[in-house]
Amino acid sequence: MNDFFAPKPKENEAWDAAIIGSGPAGLTAAIYLTRGAASTVLFAGDQWGGQLMLTTQVDNYPGFPEGILGPDLMDKMRSQAARFGTEIIEQNATSLEKKDKIFIIKAGEKSFSSKSVIVTTGAKTRWLGIPGEDRLRGKGVSSCAPCDAPFFKDKKVAVIGGGDSAMEEALVLTKYASKVFIIHRRNEFRASQAMQEKVFSNKKINVIWNSEVIEFLGEDKLREAKIKNNETKKIEQMGIEGAFVAIGHDPASEIFKGILELDEKGYVKKFEKDGFKTATSQKGIFVAGDVHDYHYRQAVTAAGFGCMAAMDTLNYLDKDTPSW
Ligand SMILES: Cc1cc2nc3c(=O)[nH]c(=O)nc-3n(C[C@H](O)[C@H](O)[C@H](O)COP(=O)(O)OP(=O)(O)OC[C@H]3O[C@@H](n4cnc5c(N)ncnc54)[C@H](O)[C@@H]3O)c2cc1C
C-alpha cells in the first residue's frame, strides 16, 4: 500500500496542529489531521493511551465483534495515527500560551509552535484508594457500567456513590445483575430527585446507607467487599462479584487554567462559534473527549469528538477564521 505521509514543518515554521493527549480522542484527531495533509505533532504524555490502558476487555467498540483488550485497541489507534506521519512526543505538555497567532507548547526542555491546538487530555476516574482496588480492577472492580454491565449477568453487584452517575450506573446494572446494592457514605443522595425516584422504585436495587467500602477481597477476581457502617462502626463482609466505583472524575485541565474557560469542575468549556462545534473560548484551540464531556464518557464518543475537532481544525487552518 502506498501510504500518504503528512508533511513536517520546515525549520522555524510552526506545525499546523498540535494535539495534547493520546487517548481515543487525540489519536483519532491525529488520523484525521494527517490524512487532511496537516503537519501534526501529538503530545502523548508520560502515560500514553489514556483510560483504556487500565482495562481488559472492551466489548462495545465497533469493528471488533469478539471484543478487544483496551491496550491492544490503543496500540492500533496509535499505529494508525503514526502511519500517516503524526509526530509523537512521549512527554506531557507542561504549558500552553499564545503569542500573536501562534501557540507555544512546552514539553520537557523543548518548545513547539503550532497554528492550532486540540485539547484531548481526558479525565481520571476518582477511585476509592482502598486495599484490593488496584489489583482487582478489570477483575470485578470497574468504573463504567455501560462498558462492563453485561459481564455481570445474574450476579450480585454494588455501586459506590450517591450522585447522578451512581444512580445511572445502578439502573444500567439492573438490566443484567440479579441484585444491585448502592453503598453510600451518607444518609441521603445528592442525585437529582428524578434519578432517586427511578432508583427507589426499582425492586432490584437496595441502598446501604451511612456505609463505606474499606477493602475489596478476592484472589483472581472480586468475591467480597468489606463494608464499614459509619454510625455503628461495625464492619461486615458482603459477597459481590462486581463493584462499580462512581464517585466522580477529574478532568486533566490544570495546564489550561488561565488560557481556556473551564467550568466549576474543571472541564474545558466547549462553544459553537463560526460554524465550529468543538471550539473553546480561545480562537484556534479546539477540544475533544472526556476533558470536556462528562456525560457520555465512552471511547467511541471520544473518538467521534476527536474527528469533529480535527475537521473543525482543518477548516480553521484553511480559512483564516473570522473573529471570536
Ligand atoms: C477502567 C475503565 C474502563 C473503561 N472501559 C470502557 C469500555 O469498555 N468502552 C468504552 O467505550 N469506554 C470505556 N471507558 C471510558 C473510556 O476509556 C474513555 O471515555 C475514553 O478513554 C476517553 O478518551 P479521551 O481521549 O477523551 O481521554 P483519555 O482516555 O483519558 O486519554 C487522555 C490522555 O491524555 C494524556 N494527557 C493528560 N494530560 C496530558 C498532558 N498535559 N500532556 C500530554 N498528555 C496528557 C493522559 O495521560 C491520557 O493518556 C473506560 C474507562 C475506564 C477508566
Last residue of a domain, one of 204, 228, 245: 245
In the block, which residue shows the cell 445511572?
168
C-alpha cell belonging to residue 286: 479546539
- For residue 211, what pLDDT is reported? 98
For residue 131, being part of any structural domain is answered with yes
Residue 110 and residue 63 share a domain: yes
Pairing of strands 249-251, 271-273: unpaired
Rg (CA), the chain: 22
Q: Taking CB atoms and a 6 Å cutoff, what residues make up the pocket around ligand 1?
A: 20-26, 43, 45, 47-52, 54-55, 58, 60-61, 92-93, 120-123, 125, 143-144, 147, 252, 255, 289-290, 297-300, 302
Which domain, by its residues, includes 200? 127-245
Q: Out of 212, 245, 278, pick the residue that ends a domain.
A: 245
Q: In this structure, what CATH number is given to the domain that contains residue 52?
A: 3.50.50.60
Pairing of strands 57-58, 68-69: antiparallel
The model's pLDDT over 278-309, given as tens digits with 9 standing for 90+, comes to 999 999 999 999 999 999 999 999 999 999 99
**20 vs 323, which has greater pLDDT?**
20
Is 5 within the bounds of a domain? no
**Whether residue 314 has pLDDT greater than 70:** yes
**What distances in angstroms separate CA 113 from CA 24, 35, 129, 239, one per listed residue?**
24, 21, 39, 55
**Same domain? 142 vs 96:** no
Edge-to-edge strand order for the sheet containing 141-142? 141-142, 242-245, 156-160, 179-183, 205-208
Q: Give the distance (Å) from ligand 1 centre to CA of residue 231.
A: 37
Q: For residue 235, report the distance from its CA to the centre of ligand 1, in Å.
A: 34
- Give per-residue pLDDT as tens, 64-86: 999 999 999 999 999 999 999 99
Residue 107 CA: nearest ligand 1 atom is 42
Residue at 312: amino acid letter: D
Contact criterion met (CB below 8 Å) for 301 and 27: no
The residues carrying an active-site annotation are 144, 147-148
What are the pLDDT digits (tens) for 13-50?
A: 999 999 999 999 999 999 999 999 999 999 999 899 99
Q: What is the pLDDT of residues 49-58, one digit of tens each?
A: 999 998 888 9
Q: Which residue's CA lies nearest to atom 42 of ligand 1? A: 92
Establish if 176 belongs to a structural domain: yes
The pLDDT value recorded for residue 64 is 97
In terms of domains, do 236 and 136 share one? yes
Ligand 1, atom 26: closest residue by C-alpha:
289
Same domain, 118 and 26: yes
109 and 150 fall within a common domain: no
Note the pTM of the prediction, 2 decimals: 0.88
Mean pLDDT over each residue of the chain, to the nearest integer = 95
8-state DSSP, 52:
G
What was the pLDDT predicted at 319?
A: 76
Residue for grid cell 441502598? 207
Which pLDDT value is given to residue 189?
Answer: 97
CA distance 307 to 25: 8
pLDDT reading at 322 higher than 80: no
Mutate to test the pocket of ligand 1, among 41, 52, 222, 250 (most ligand atoms within 8 A of CB): 52
Reported confidence tier of residue 320, pLDDT bands at 50, 70, 90:
low
Distances (CA, A) of 274 to 10, 49, 189, 271, 280: 30, 32, 41, 10, 12
Convert the pLDDT of each residue in 96-120 to its tens digit: 999 988 999 999 999 999 999 999 9
What's the rounded mean pLDDT across residues 123-140?
95
- 123-125 and 249-251 as β-strands: parallel, antiparallel, unpaired? antiparallel
Query: Does residue 323 register a pLDDT over 80?
Result: no
54 and 68 together in one domain = yes
How many angstroms does the Cα of residue 130 sit away from the middle of ligand 1?
Answer: 22
Alpha-carbon distance of 36 to 30, in angstroms, equals: 10
Quote the ligand 1 centre to 172 CA distance (angstroms). 21
Tell the residue nearest (CA) to atom 9 of ligand 1.
147
Angle ∠(81,82,84) on CA atoms, nearest 5:
75
Rounded to whole angstroms, the Cα distance separating 305 from 286 reads: 10
Residue 324's pLDDT is 43
